[in-house]
Amino acid sequence: MFNDGKIQSFNDIFGFIPKTVVATDIGKKVDRFSELMKRIEGFTLKDLFLIGTLCDLTESQMLKLAEKEYLLQKKSIGKQKENHKV
């Protein structure tokens, strides 16, 4: 799915695999995992690479997905701040 372009950012993975399954597999509580999904930089590389292994993705692919997710979240946070300026 990565090579086909169906998964372009980290959170896209969870359109195909339930986050509850992944959270359990890497030893995280679902609530904590959900929070980390909103702020990708909170994941450790170890977590990202483990998720990649579970999803049959290389470390390089996971880093690309995480980078894309980070940039999307950063852009979104910037827009939220702009909307709250008076």
Identity of the residue numbered 6: K
The count of C-alpha atoms lying within 13 angstroms of the C-alpha of 74, restricted to the half-sphere facing its C-beta, is: 7
User: pTM for the complete prediction?
Assistant: 0.85
| Number of residues written out for the chain | 86
> Per-residue pLDDT for the chain (86 aa), expressed as one digit of tens each?
888 899 999 999 999 999 999 999 999 999 999 999 999 999 999 999 999 999 999 999 999 999 999 999 998 877 766 666 65
Q: What are phi and psi of 10, to 5 degrees?
A: -50, -50
**How far apart, in whole angstroms, are the C-alpha atoms of residue 14 and residue 20?**
9
Contact 10, 40 (CB under 8 A): yes
Q: DSSP label at 29?
A: -
